[in-house]
Each structure stands twice: as structure tokens, then as C-alpha cells.
Amino acid sequence: MSVTVMEGVTAGSHSPIWIIPAALVDQDPTDGTYSIPLSVLTDPTVVQIDGYLDAGDVSVSRSPQTRTRQRLSQAVAQNVVIGETVDVTVSAVYDQQAADGAAINKAYDAMPKGAEVYVAQAFGWFSGDTPTTATKIDLAKGAVQSRYKNQPTSGDEDLKFSSVVSVEQEWADVALTAA
């Protein structure tokens, strides 16, 4: 029996991430149709932020919400998952001294505290290519809970900020449609 070894897709330049203002999405993806219009992702107000990030600068934390249940027939109480808390933390470069609207601050400007946003990521899609109807994305809808400037830990690192998006809903493998 022979084993076929599969080549992987390198993460570098193959995991673009966009911040989408929530107002651009007229309707969330629904069961069975997991799609949004391609025009949402290519809108000029959408910011592609992967050029502002290093590996490890995006993290997703998941915490189950549970309650205890013990029926009369159960000798041991049981934790039952009733929900989940999901947060997306993004750390990206910025320059506090740059002029308003400067290119270095597009990621910073896209994620102010209180903003309603969608975070989209296309694993395996080349970052330099414009998305098409062949592109699939993972999509998370949420509110920016905080935005703060990180303290440098060494003299040779880039100045960065972090924003935490509290996720309200998420969808995997969302198609981009032409209409």
C-alpha cells in the first residue's frame, strides 16, 4: 500500500484578511446559502489587513458557556454547553504620528472601539489576487470591544495596536456571489 504525501499551502501570502463595515452586508449568510455578494468584499471601504500583520497577530479564543444539570436519574451532575464566547484579537502595525487617513493606519482606522464589523479570511487564497466568485471565506460578525496601543517589548519591533472583536455569529466556507 502506498501513501500519497500531500503538499500543503504555505500560510505566508495565502491567508488574506479583510475588515468589512457591517453596513455593507444587507443580509447575513443563512443556512443552506452561506454566501454574500462579491461586491461586499471588493467595496472600497473594506480594508485588507494581512499586509499589516505578522504571523501570530490574529488569534481566535473560544470559551464554552455551560450550566450544570442533574436529573433525578443522574448520580453525577453534568456540565451542558449552552453557548460559546468567541473573540478575535488582531494586532497590526500603525503610526500614531502619521497624518489622518495615512495608509499605515488603515487597519487601525478600520477597527475603532464600538464599530460593528465582519472579519473575513480566505485561507489558501493568494493575498495579492483580487477575490472572485471562486474565493471562499470564513466570516465572523461582531463588535470591536477595545482598541489599544501595544507597549513595545524590544527596540527593533514595529509599533502595533490591538483590537478585540467580540463575535456575535460566524460562518465557514462562505461563497462570494456575483449578484
Rounded Cα–Cα distance for residues 8 and 63 (Å):
29
- Residue range 113-127: mean pLDDT, rounded: 97
pLDDT of 31: 74
Q: Assign 32 a pLDDT band (cuts: 50, 70, 90).
A: confident
Q: Assign 2 a pLDDT band (cuts: 50, 70, 90).
A: confident
Worst-scoring range by mean pLDDT, 1-15, 45-59, 116-130?
1-15
User: Is the pLDDT assigned to residue 4 strictly greater than 80?
Assistant: yes
pLDDT of 56: 95
pLDDT of 1: 72
Helix (H, G, I), strand (E, B) or coil at 138: strand
Helix (H, G, I), strand (E, B) or coil at 148: strand
Rounded Cα–Cα distance for residues 57 and 144 (Å):
16
Q: What is the pLDDT of residues 91-111, one digit of tens each?
A: 999 999 999 889 999 999 999
Cα atoms in the Cβ-side hemisphere of radius 13 Å centred on 87: 11
Helix (H, G, I), strand (E, B) or coil at 103: helix
Cα atoms in the Cβ-side hemisphere of radius 13 Å centred on 86: 13
**Nearest residue to 116 (alpha-carbon basis) of 93, 145, 89:** 145
Q: What is the pLDDT of residues 42-94, one digit of tens each?
A: 999 999 999 999 999 999 999 999 999 999 999 999 999 999 999 999 999 99
Helix (H, G, I), strand (E, B) or coil at 107: helix
Cα atoms in the Cβ-side hemisphere of radius 13 Å centred on 7: 3
User: Is the pLDDT assigned to residue 33 strictly greater than 90?
Assistant: no
Torsion over CA of 151, 156, 158 and 163, rounded to 10 degrees? -30
Question: Model's pTM, two decimal places?
Answer: 0.90
